[in-house]
Chain A
Amino acid sequence: MSMEQTLLQKKSLPDKFKKISFLIFGIGLLTVIISFFVDSHRFAFNYNILFSFLVSIALGNMFLFAIEYLAGAVWSTVFRRINEIFISFVPFVMVIGIVVLLEMHSIFHWTYKDVLENDEIVRGKTPYLNETFFIIRFFVYTLVWTLFAYFMRKNSLKQDTTYDQNLTYRNSKLSAFFIPIFAITITFFAIDYLMSTEPHWFSTIFGVYYFSGTVLSALAILTVVSILLHERSYFDKILKPDHFYNLGALLFAFVNFWAYIAFSQFLLIWYANLPEETFWMIHRWENGWEIFSFILIFGHFLIPYFALLSQQAKSNLNRLKIVSIWLLIMHYVDIYWLTMPSGFKQLVFGWIELGFIVFCVGIIMILFYYRYERMKNIIPVGDPKLKRSLEFKL
């Protein structure tokens, strides 16, 4: 007990952080509002990307949280509070997502009546792709994710005061239910918000593709936030390089996983060579979009792969920090690459896109600030695995 009381006092974030995050948020918000009046089509597409990215971060952390309980992982217990901060983003992110519903006509052209009349392929998909069902699905996602996020966090936070070991068991059960539901909802989410921007195209691996990016970005944001807090001794230096080594190894694994899935999708489309599938890839290989295809090949796979390859690199905090930020940007670019060419024939990239990135950073910082301040402890002090986690050795 004494160790916990002396070691694990939570420090609050400096006021400067709050000011900076509000500044970034303000700049982002201003650009976003201006962009709505300048080019509402581009605004809507970018907003969809922003929403999908935020969902990635929140849901990915829920997945990591569930995996920790299911696998009985010990090393990651010290990071779980950071996970939970991002998990608690879920309801806010879904509120942000309502704008996507309002702007549906600018993003999804299957919502137009004249498209439905003239386009037999899109008409055939109306049992799934129609506005009512789309909105229903949005609220189903919101409900399911929010409930899971709420109960997972509730059990975990309650343990801080009650030290009840049953809560760990209860969260394990919850996680076991969550994983299949997560698999289904994230697949449908990817189909709804990313794949249906091009309703003629389909790929059965698409849900897995989005999932790989989701987990990668969740790991990346977990890594970068933990390292930043650790460097400013918010963790009282209780974290060892061995803990970060595991994060680095997982990052490395998921960089490979993403490449594996992305290449699988490409290879099958390329081999089968069916016009109904290839046009999507071809479109991303011309009219300037090929720049982003190349950025993904190098930036999302080759550069982080070689940056994380050696054993020393995975426990080198500076390198982990840079690679994690880089991977977060790459996941944003990945979603951009998935959806943007569906709405625009020629490459579009400019102040609107940058403004949305700033806005996204601002949202994450502000949400992080408030959720962090509401936390009582920075590590789960009541968790029975905590002692082993602190003593974790590779």
Chain B
Amino acid sequence: MENKILYSVSGIFEDVNKLISAVKTVTDSGYTKFDVHSPYPIHGLPQAMKLKPSKLGWVTLVFGLSGALFAFLFMYWVNVIDYPLIVGGKPFYQLPAYVPVMFEVTVLSAAVFTVAWMLFIMFKFPNNSHPLIDTEYMRKVSVDKYGITIQASDPIFDLTRAKEFLQSLGASEVFEIYFRESNVKPKIFDKKFILFLGITSLIVSGVTYFILNHLLFMSPFNWMHEQFRLNPQSKLTFTKPETTNLTPVEGTVARGFLPYPYTDRPDLAEKNLINPLLPTEKTLKVGKEKYLTFCSPCHGNFGHGDSRLKGQFPNPPTLHSDKLRNMKDGGIYHIITVGQNIMPGYASQISSDERWAIVHYIRVLQRAINPKESDLK
């Protein structure tokens, strides 16, 4: 006992009101290095201890504001700079939509950082070598008693006087608390602790496995899987015969689509079909766009048959051959519509008007490669 260094003299109090008046007396007697412990926050204690207002509020304010700022800048960066997307016809920068997120992030950041700051900066959390830890005194004041601790480093400290002083204030018990002889290492690698960790992880993983792989497929958790409604592509039971997809009634014509009568008669198509569009600038623009999208991969950007497919697909012949230049619009239209040789028909992908526009554009390309005499003058 003799070579131990004294940390403090600590007294236990049974009653709040006694505690507060005792604290006032301690403050008035000139002690500056003392602390009060209680299992719950007591209003009025900071005033009795003459403490300065806590600085924790500023931490909350700063982190709350920086949370708001972070949320704002992040959303601004995402929505305006990195990936501008029009949502609901609103401008990219839309403050009202940011406000709820900013509000939530403010609350989250303020709360989390206040607790973290309190634990790690103010209480120095992982540090467990404080002399009060694991003492009889601390055990009592963290359950149902209150305590005053006067530290030995106080300038007016005197062991016997401090003890008598606390007793005179109404302390039911007074402890002398010493520094530890050596720093006790935390018992993380204790056998029991390792065993506890192992068992806990086994239980947790077992329960997780059970929930995800079995429980969710048991009744009643699987009720949502089995619903009395029709899923897409599922068998219809009320038709005869039972089919997956219903075919339209024979002779039905879809809106905006007229059936093409010349599927097997290219000669009739060339003879009868006339381009309904005039080669205006607007038409040619549409034609160019569609040509570049659908035709150019094989036929090349200028119709030379120089495909970009690099041998993955046989190259088609050039569009500037005499045969095609002399072919009427209806013939080209027919080829785009039903296809030719290994070229598939594009009727389902390109609308009728757009096909006619492509024909106009092909004419433009042909005339650009083989201009008429009059064009060159």
Contacts and interface: CB of A to CB of B under 8 A. Distances in A.
Interface of A: 242, 263, 266-267, 270-271, 273, 309-312, 393-394
A310 B90 CA distance: 37
Contact of B99 (A242, A267, A273): A267
Contacts of A271: 88, 96-97
A271 B96 CA distance: 9
A394 B88 CA distance: 49
Nearest to A310: B57
B89 interface: yes
A311 B57 CA distance: 9
A246 B88 CA distance: 44
Given A310-B57, A312-B53, A393-B43, A270 B96 contact: yes
A126 B96 CA distance: 35
18 contacts: A242-B43, A266-B96, A267-B96, A267-B97, A267-B99, A270-B96, A271-B88, A271-B96, A273-B88, A273-B89, A273-B90, A309-B61, A310-B57, A311-B53, A311-B57, A312-B53, A393-B43, A393-B44
A394 B61 CA distance: 23
Contacts of A394: 43-44
A263 B90 CA distance: 18
B100 interface: yes
A312 B97 CA distance: 34
A393 B43 CA distance: 8
8 tightest Cβ-Cβ pairs between the two chains A and B? A394-B43, A270-B96, A267-B96, A393-B43, A310-B57, A263-B99, A393-B44, A266-B96
Contact of B100 (A267, A273, A311, A393): A267
A241 to B, nearest CB: 10
Nearest to B44: A393
Contacts of A311: 53, 57
Contacts of B99: 263, 267
Interface string B258-294: 0000000000000000000000000000000000000
Contacts of A309: 61
A393 B100 CA distance: 36
B97 to A, nearest CB: 7
A309 B97 CA distance: 25
Nearest to B89: A273
Contacts of A273: 88-90
A249 to B, nearest CB: 13
A394 B43 CA distance: 6
B56 to A, nearest CB: 10
Nearest to A306: B61
Contacts of B89: 273
Interface string B78-101: 000000000011100000110110
Contacts of B88: 271, 273
Interface in B24-56: 43-44, 53
Nearest to B60: A309
A312 B52 CA distance: 12
Nearest to A272: B88
B262 to A, nearest CB: 49
Contacts of A266: 96
A146 B36 CA distance: 53
Nearest to A309: B61
Nearest to B54: A311
Nearest to B16: A393
A310 B56 CA distance: 11
B51 to A, nearest CB: 13
Contacts of A270: 96
Interface string B122-150: 00000000000000000000000000000
Contacts of B96: 266-267, 270-271
Contacts of A310: 57
Given A270-B96, A273-B90, A394-B43, 17 more contacts: A263-B99, A266-B96, A267-B96, A267-B97, A267-B99, A267-B100, A271-B88, A273-B88, A273-B89, A309-B61, A310-B57, A311-B53, A311-B57, A312-B53, A393-B43, A393-B44, A394-B44
Interface string B319-330: 000000000000
A270 B95 CA distance: 11
Nearest to B43: A394
A206 to B, nearest CB: 19
A394 B42 CA distance: 8
A40 to B, nearest CB: 38
Contacts of B100: 267
Contacts of B53: 311-312
A393 B97 CA distance: 42
Nearest to B95: A270
B309 to A, nearest CB: 46
A312 B53 CA distance: 9
Nearest to A266: B96
A47 B99 CA distance: 36
Interface in B90-118: 90, 96-97, 99-100
A273 B90 CA distance: 9
A309 B90 CA distance: 34
Contacts of B90: 273
Nearest to B100: A267
A204 to B, nearest CB: 18
A310 B89 CA distance: 41
Contacts of A263: 99
Nearest to A269: B96
A242 B61 CA distance: 23
A266 B99 CA distance: 11
A242 B57 CA distance: 19
A310 B61 CA distance: 10
A269 to B, nearest CB: 10
A293 to B, nearest CB: 13
Nearest to B61: A309
A325 B44 CA distance: 29
Contacts of B43: 242, 393-394
Contacts of B57: 310-311
A270 B61 CA distance: 30
A267 B95 CA distance: 10
Contacts of A312: 53
